Amino acid sequence: MRSFYALGFHGTTVDAILESAEVPKGSFYHHFGSKESFARVVLEQYVQLQLDLIAKWADRDDLSTHGQVEGYFDELVSAFVRSGYERACLAGKFSTELAASSDTFRQQLNGGFARLKAALVAMLALGQERGDIRNDRTADDLATTVLVLLQGGFVVALSEHDGGALESVRTTLAAVMCP
């Protein structure tokens, strides 16, 4: 995953993957067949990690729904800062690099984002039922807005190499979600 973050899909060679994983080339090709297949497995694992992280925060009954979303976001920001402002969202990175040129990746990325959005929809719909999330917009619309804010904030933060844009996202999350 680190090579893909650092160099992107096209910049990451099979040799770099093999060196990082300390496995022989034959084993790699036996298990994955190609760099694209390997990247698809890595992307699936990344999406699952994100879903698990959302679920972790959604299970926090001691927090408001806004607090749950903010906790998820804060954990992403913390990891981003620890990476030296270099590793944001792998799905976002692959989207900018591969979605326009590979139908296979575009479909997988679209599916991954749809799963992340569905997890946010479930969290926000529950918040609407509890009354701590605004109900003048659908949970689906709010989840789309949250996902777009997060993705866009990290893209800008990567280029600025600091967290200023992410502070704006944090402030905007409350304005978007709270009644």
Instruction: Note the pLDDT of residue 72.
Output: 98
Domain boundaries, the chain: 48-177
Whole-prediction pTM: 0.91
- Contact indicator for 70, 146 with CB cutoff of 8 Å: no
Rounded CA separation 170/167 (Å): 5
pLDDT score for 6 = 80
Condensed to tens digits (0 to 9), the pLDDT of residues 81-135 reads 999 998 899 999 899 898 999 999 999 999 999 999 999 999 999 999 999 999 9
Q: What's the mean pLDDT when you consider all of the chain? A: 93
Q: Percent of the chain at pLDDT above 90?
A: 70
Fold of 48-177: Tetracycline Repressor; domain 2 (1.10.357)
Say what the pLDDT of residue 75 is. Answer: 97
Q: How far apart are CA 133 and CA 174, in angstroms?
A: 9
User: Could you report the per-residue pLDDT of 16-49, keeping only the tens digit for each?
Assistant: 888 887 877 878 887 888 889 989 999 999 999 9
